[in-house]
């Protein structure tokens, strides 16, 4: 499975890429607005932070079909191999369909239901992102939606990729991985929570101090 970071924090992408092979970085307008760097400076900086590797995702802003297509082409012109995120609305579906004809790779986003997301895929999107914690927050079941959508993809469109998004806790992400989700994008704080259990550091300290005591050194 693939693990992406959902962030505009260049330093965090650099830090995490150094310790883990992230598959890429996803952004959306809220994430970009939360940072200080303009989108067209941010995207190359994020790619550099991943050592030139990985897939980058950025979202259209316009809410007309023509505008979305224009935004998508502008993004692709400025950033090589970028995947364009398009919300699965009636207009977004049309934009995905047109962009697919033009050979522009898209991610169907703002997905709150499995069938809605699947329509984005059938319209041509290569990737699809259900919003796990937002679905939970409106009384739905985020992981169950992910499971249904992953099942639809595995059955009908195995070459397409699910990238579950909108995580607030490691548990939500773990639940999605357990049900067979093939891709997730995590905010930096959730990624960090996976590897910051104090008990782990205490265990490592314990090994080191036992060795130090016995052999008077902290290496083999
Ligand atoms: O990238 C889209 C998705 O991750 C949204 O997350 O935290 O705004 O629900 P959030």
* The CATH number of domain 2-215 is 3.20.20.70: yes
Residue nearest to atom 3 of ligand 1 (CA): 166
Look up residue 77 and give its two tokens.
Answer: 């012109």
Question: Looking at residue 192, what is its pLDDT?
Answer: 98
Candidates 2, 74, 85, 214; catalytic one: 85
How do the domains of the chain map onto residue ranges?
Answer: 2-215
Contacts 24+ apart (CB under 8 A), 93-102: 93/119, 93/120, 93/123, 94/65, 94/123, 95/60, 95/65, 95/68, 95/69, 96/120, 96/123, 96/124, 96/125, 97/123, 97/124, 98/65, 98/69, 99/69, 99/72, 99/124, 100/124, 100/125, 102/69, 102/73
Question: Looking at residue 74, what is its pLDDT?
Answer: 97
- Residue range 91-112: average pLDDT? 98
| Interatomic CA distance for residues 9 and 199, integer angstroms | 27
142-156 and 114-122 helices cross at what angle (nearest 10)? 30
Look up residue 10 and give its two tokens.
Answer: 């260049």
Per-residue model confidence as pLDDT tens digits over 28-73: 999 999 999 999 999 999 999 999 999 999 999 999 999 999 999 9
| Interatomic CA distance for residues 96 and 87, integer angstroms | 9
Per-residue model confidence as pLDDT tens digits over 164-189: 999 999 999 999 999 999 999 999 99
Mean pLDDT rounded to a whole number for the chain: 97
CA of 12 to the centre of ligand 1 (A): 17
Question: Looking at residue 66, what is its pLDDT?
Answer: 98
Ligand 1 atom nearest the C-alpha of 28 is: 1
CA dihedral 178, 179, 185, 186 (to 10 degrees): -40
3-state secondary structure 204-218: HHHHHHHHHHHHCCC
Tell me whether residue 85 is one of the annotated catalytic residues.
yes
Q: Where are the beta strands (DSSP E) in 82-140?
A: 83-87, 106-111, 127-130
Residue 133 beta carbon below 6 angstroms from any ligand 1 atom: yes
Residue 94 beta carbon below 6 angstroms from any ligand 1 atom: no
Residue 33 beta carbon below 6 angstroms from any ligand 1 atom: no
Question: Looking at residue 121, what is its pLDDT?
Answer: 98
Per-residue model confidence as pLDDT tens digits over 123-149: 999 999 999 999 999 999 999 999 999
Reported as a pLDDT band with limits 50, 70 and 90, residue 211 is very high
Question: Looking at residue 52, what is its pLDDT?
Answer: 95
Question: Looking at residue 4, what is its pLDDT?
Answer: 98
Q: What are phi and psi of 110, to 5 degrees?
A: 55, 50
Question: Looking at residue 118, what is its pLDDT?
Answer: 98
Question: Looking at residue 26, what is its pLDDT?
Answer: 98
What's the whole-model pTM score?
Answer: 0.95
């Amino acid at each position: 499975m693939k693990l992406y970071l959902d962030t505009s924090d260049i330093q965090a992408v650099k830090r995490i890429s150094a310790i883990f092979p992230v598959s890429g970085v996803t952004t959306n307008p809220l994430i970009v607005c939360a940072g200080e760097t303009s989108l067209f400076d941010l995207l190359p900086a994020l790619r550099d932070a991943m050592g030139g590797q990985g897939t980058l995702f950025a979202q259209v802003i316009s809410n007309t079909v023509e505008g979305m297509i224009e935004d998508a082409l502008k993004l692709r012109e400025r950033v090589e191999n970028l995947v364009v995120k398009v919300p699965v609305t009636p207009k977004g579906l049309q934009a995905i369909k047109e962009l697919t004809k033009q050979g522009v790779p898209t991610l169907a986003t703002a997905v709150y239901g499995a069938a809605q997301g699947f329509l984005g895929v059938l319209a041509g999107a290569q990737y699809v992102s259900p919003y796990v914690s937002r679905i939970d927050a409106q009384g739905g079941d985020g992981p169950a939606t992910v499971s249904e959508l992953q099942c639809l993809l595995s059955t009908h469109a195995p070459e397409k990729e699910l990238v579950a998004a909108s995580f607030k806790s490691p548990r939500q992400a773990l639940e999605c991985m357990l049900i067979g989700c093939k891709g997730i994008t995590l905010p930096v704080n959730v990624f960090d929570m996976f590897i910051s259990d104090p008990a782990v550091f205490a265990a490592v300290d314990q090994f080191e101090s036992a060795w130090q005591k016995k052999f008077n050194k902290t290496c083999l």
